[in-house]
């Protein structure tokens, strides 16, 4: 019997199989069966993420119990104090999120570990905040962030509210992998153990709002701007509107997208990386003549931005809105004499150069990490102890940013408040945020950033992604689209190649990322997504003008598609 059949049979015949999965298992096609059982669901860029349904490679009550039992063993190993400090648990609007969250709390209680569970859906950044605020040992967030509705996921946090970095995650993973029978775990705890579970809500909200409001740099700015806001049916709805109300901003919610709907019924996609997320908000913006559109992903860690510019609405990339936030924040810190000593900004190896150049204009150093905000959180924690450098901003090209590190993950409510303030501040000077961006191009050079993500699902897809990267590694391109490659970085082999010299690439956990620097100041990178079955190509293209950068982008994208057989 094949491994897939063995696993399948075990599930079908197991006495503890949750009854709701019986029909799904019985009706699986051969392909579906293979995809659901060919592997065990793994921890990736941001915890465990997968399609909801029965199977070892799916998110369901059994795989989440297995993960939580492994996490419990990790907490127990850390000692009595860790069990008493407990775990904060949050969840979003997705199918099963609330059920899974309370099931985690029961299972922790069964292991004699305290927990604090939110009474209803809350943003991921509020969960991160709650861990610190309540002095917990860690946190669990049930969410698949920006993924489609078929997905759910499981993010784990340390006591600083930062997602577990690889060296900690691997200790949990080892314990998860040591569990042989995920279906044998039940979460029934005694009435006495149930007392270890505390339901939280308003009190934590208030503290979180207070902290978010404290980030304002110009609280008295003229707030004569109109903001159209969409939570994409997710957790940002209440906190962002509440923060705007308290700060005095006029926010027009996209009403159809405010209900916490697990099917995301009124949006084509809840992901601010995709144009569909802005569709209805754009309609609202035109009807209301809004200055700015802001959309958050379901767990409110990402924020997408649209700007009215010369009478048209322009949707910014995460690189662009990040650069504008840097410009605003750093210029204000400088003007108000609030720039800390040794200021540092964080972004990733696939984030555009524009942000780094903008930061450098203010004497702010940039440190780069791998993709995944946990790596930025790790650096924040390090400097908090050494005081060597002081945090001024952190962001990724994927629309996530963190203004102030009382949260240790991307925080869209903070980003929405700061973006509104920036828009209001510049409007009072007769500028919109696209004008600000143009100013950055004038000063730092014109860039066009783009990402091409190719979906390759299932076992075959996963193999193909690995192969594409292996082939690139094997036959490293000397030129791309006619432009010589002057340097390449390989984050798996840990090498930097420049001409004939090979140096060691240090400071990063090994990761399957390749980055090619071109003679014209552009770069192109490739890596597998750790949250979806995709290979991602990142383009940071420098041009003499916007038109030039765009033409080059098209040329490079075509060349990479041909080179990798993804055309």
Ligand X SMILES: O=P(O)(O)OC[C@H]1O[C@H](O)[C@H](O)[C@@H](O)[C@@H]1O
Which of the residues are catalytic?
Answer: 145
Q: Which is nearer to ligand X, 411 or 532 (CB)?
A: 532
275 touches 247 (CB < 8 A): no
Minimum CB distance to ligand X, residue 161 (Å) = 14
**Rounded (10°) CA dihedral 320, 324, 330, 335:** 160
By CB under 6 A, residue 46 contacts ligand X? yes
What is the pattern of x (binds ligand X, CB under 6 A) and - over residues 2-41?
----------------------------------------
By CB under 6 A, residue 92 contacts ligand X? no
**How far, CA to CA in Å, does 195 sit from each of 26, 74, 105, 520, 558?**
39, 21, 11, 63, 60
By CB under 6 A, residue 317 contacts ligand X? no
257 touches 229 (CB < 8 A): no
Minimum CB distance to ligand X, residue 44 (Å) = 6
Minimum CB distance to ligand X, residue 376 (Å) = 8
Minimum CB distance to ligand X, residue 378 (Å) = 12
Q: Tell me the C-alpha distance between 85 and 496, whole Å.
A: 44
Q: Which is nearer to ligand X, 141 or 344 (CB)?
A: 141
Minimum CB distance to ligand X, residue 375 (Å) = 8
Site for ligand X in 332-371 (CB under 6 A): 371
Which of 339, 325, 296, 283 is CA-nearest to residue 420?
325
Minimum CB distance to ligand X, residue 3 (Å) = 27
Q: Which is nearer to ligand X, 35 or 297 (CB)?
A: 297
Q: Tell me the C-alpha distance between 322 and 317, whole Å.
A: 8
Site for ligand X in 396-415 (CB under 6 A): 396, 398, 400
Show the 3-state SS of 120-177. Answer: CCCCHHHHHHHHHHCCCCEEEEECCCCCCCCEEEEEEECCCCCECCHHHHHHHHHHHH
What is the pattern of x (binds ligand X, CB under 6 A) and - over residues 137-156?
--------x-----------
Q: Which is nearer to ligand X, 352 or 529 (CB)?
A: 529
Of 161, 530, 533, 543, the one binding ligand X (CB under 6 A) is 530
Q: Tell me the C-alpha distance between 70 and 171, whole Å.
A: 9
By CB under 6 A, residue 543 contacts ligand X? no
- Give the number of other Cβ atoms within 10 Å of residue 282's Cβ: 18
246 touches 445 (CB < 8 A): no
Q: Tell me the C-alpha distance between 278 and 264, whole Å.
A: 13
Stretch that binds ligand X, among 285-293, 329-337, 440-448, 525-533 (CB under 6 A): 525-533
Of 34, 98, 111, 531, the one binding ligand X (CB under 6 A) is 531
| Secondary structure (3-state) at 524 | strand
Of 34, 45, 69, 369, the one binding ligand X (CB under 6 A) is 45
Minimum CB distance to ligand X, residue 538 (Å) = 9
Q: Which is nearer to ligand X, 45 or 483 (CB)?
A: 45
CA atoms within 13 A on the CB side of 475: 7
Of 308, 536, 542, 552, the one binding ligand X (CB under 6 A) is 536
Minimum CB distance to ligand X, residue 297 (Å) = 8
Q: Which is nearer to ligand X, 108 or 294 (CB)?
A: 294
Q: Which is nearer to ligand X, 115 or 529 (CB)?
A: 529
Alpha helices in 410-513 (DSSP H): 412-427, 433-444, 458-474
Report CA torsion sign: 248, 312, 403, 90: positive
Radius of gyration of the chain (CA): 23
> What contacts 200, CB < 8 A, 6 or more positions away?
88, 116, 117, 118, 119, 130, 134
By CB under 6 A, residue 372 contacts ligand X? yes
Q: Which two tokens stand for residue 92?
A: 């979003």
Q: Which is nearer to ligand X, 358 or 371 (CB)?
A: 371
Site for ligand X in 476-505 (CB under 6 A): none
By CB under 6 A, residue 447 contacts ligand X? no
Of 69, 347, 483, 529, the one binding ligand X (CB under 6 A) is 529
Minimum CB distance to ligand X, residue 491 (Å) = 13
Minimum CB distance to ligand X, residue 273 (Å) = 9
Stretch that binds ligand X, among 212-220, 515-523, 529-537, 550-558 (CB under 6 A): 529-537
Q: Tell me the C-alpha distance between 469 and 491, whole Å.
A: 12
Q: Tell me the C-alpha distance between 44 and 530, whole Å.
A: 5
Q: Tell me the C-alpha distance between 509 and 514, whole Å.
A: 14
Stretch that binds ligand X, among 15-23, 28-36, 112-120, 393-401 (CB under 6 A): 393-401
Alpha helices in 289-431 (DSSP H): 318-335, 353-361, 373-386, 412-427
Of 205, 261, 432, 532, the one binding ligand X (CB under 6 A) is 532
> What contacts 126, CB < 8 A, 6 or more positions away?
90, 118, 204, 205, 208, 235, 239, 300, 407, 413
Task: Please work out the total of residues on this chain that contact ligand X, with binding judged by CB under 6 A.
Answer: 14
By CB under 6 A, residue 564 contacts ligand X? no
Of 71, 129, 208, 373, the one binding ligand X (CB under 6 A) is 373
Q: Tell me the C-alpha distance between 346 and 1, whole Å.
A: 50
Q: Which positions touch ligand X (CB under 6 A)? A: 45-46, 145, 371-373, 396, 398, 400, 529-532, 536
């Amino acid at each position: 019997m094949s491994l897939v059949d063995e696993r399948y049979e075990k599930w079908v015949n197991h006495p503890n199989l949750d009854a709701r999965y019986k029909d799904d298992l019985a009706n699986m096609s051969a392909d579906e069966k293979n995809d659901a059982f060919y592997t065990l669901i793994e921890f990736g860029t941001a915890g465990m993420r997968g399609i909801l349904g029965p199977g070892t490679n799916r998110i369901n009550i059994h795989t989440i119990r297995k993960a939580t039992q492994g996490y419990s063993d990790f907490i127990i190993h850390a000692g009595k104090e860790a069990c008493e400090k407990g775990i904060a648990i949050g969840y979003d609007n997705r199918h099963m999120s609330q059920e899974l969250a309370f099931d985690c709390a029961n299972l922790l209680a069964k292991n004699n570990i305290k927990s604090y569970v939110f009474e209803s859906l809350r943003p991921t950044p509020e969960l991160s905040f709650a861990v610190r605020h309540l002095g917990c040992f860690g946190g669990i967030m049930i969410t698949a962030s920006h993924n489609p509705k078929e997905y759910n996921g499981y993010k784990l946090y340390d006591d600083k509210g930062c997602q577990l970095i690889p060296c900690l995650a691997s200790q949990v993973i080892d314990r998860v992998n040591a569990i042989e029978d995920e279906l044998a775990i039940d979460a029934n705890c005694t009435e006495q153990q149930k007392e270890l579970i505390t339901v939280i809500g308003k009190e934590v909200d208030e503290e979180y709002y207070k902290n978010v409001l404290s980030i304002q740099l110009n609280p008295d700015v003229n707030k004569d701007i109109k903001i159209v806001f969409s939570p994409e049916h997710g957790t940002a709805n209440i906190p962002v509107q509440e923060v705007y109300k308290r700060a005095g901003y006029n926010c027009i919610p996209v009403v159809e997208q405010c209900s916490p709907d697990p099917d995301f019924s009124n949006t084509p996609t809840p992901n601010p990386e995709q144009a569909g997320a802005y569709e209805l908000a754009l309609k609202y913006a035109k009807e209301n003549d809004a200055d700015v559109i802001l959309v958050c992903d379901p767990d409110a860690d990402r924020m997408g931005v649209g700007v009215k510019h010369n009478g048209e609405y322009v949707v910014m990339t995460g690189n662009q809105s990040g650069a504008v936030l840097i410009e605003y924040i750093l210029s204000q810190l400088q003007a108000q004499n609030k720039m800390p000593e040794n200021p540092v900004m964080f972004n990733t190896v696939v984030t555009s150069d524009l942000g780094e150049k903008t930061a450098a204009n203010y004497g702010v150093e940039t440190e780069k990490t791998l993709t995944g905000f946990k790596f930025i959180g790790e650096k924040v924690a390090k400097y908090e102890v050494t005081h060597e450098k002081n945090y001024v901003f952190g962001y990724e090209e994927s629309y996530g940013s963190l203004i102030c590190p009382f949260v240790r993950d991307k925080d869209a409510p903070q980003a929405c408040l700061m973006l509104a303030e920036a828009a209001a501040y510049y409007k009072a000077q007769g500028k919109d945020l696209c004008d600000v961006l143009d100013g950055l191009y004038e000063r730092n050079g014109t860039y066009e950033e783009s990402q091409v993500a190719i979906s390759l699902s299932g076992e075959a897809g996963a193999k193909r992604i690995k192969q594409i990267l292996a082939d690139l590694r094997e036959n490293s391109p000397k030129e791309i689209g006619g432009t010589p490659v002057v340097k390449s970085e390989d984050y798996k082999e840990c090498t930097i190649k420049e001409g004939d010299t090979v140096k060691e690439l240090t400071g990063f956990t090994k990761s399957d990322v390749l980055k090619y620097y071109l003679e014209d100041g552009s770069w192109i990178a490739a890596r597998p997504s750790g949250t979806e079955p995709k290979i991602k190509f990142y383009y940071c293209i420098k041009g003499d003008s916007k038109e030039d950068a765009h033409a080059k982008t098209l040329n490079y994208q075509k060349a990479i598609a041909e080179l990798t057989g993804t055309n």
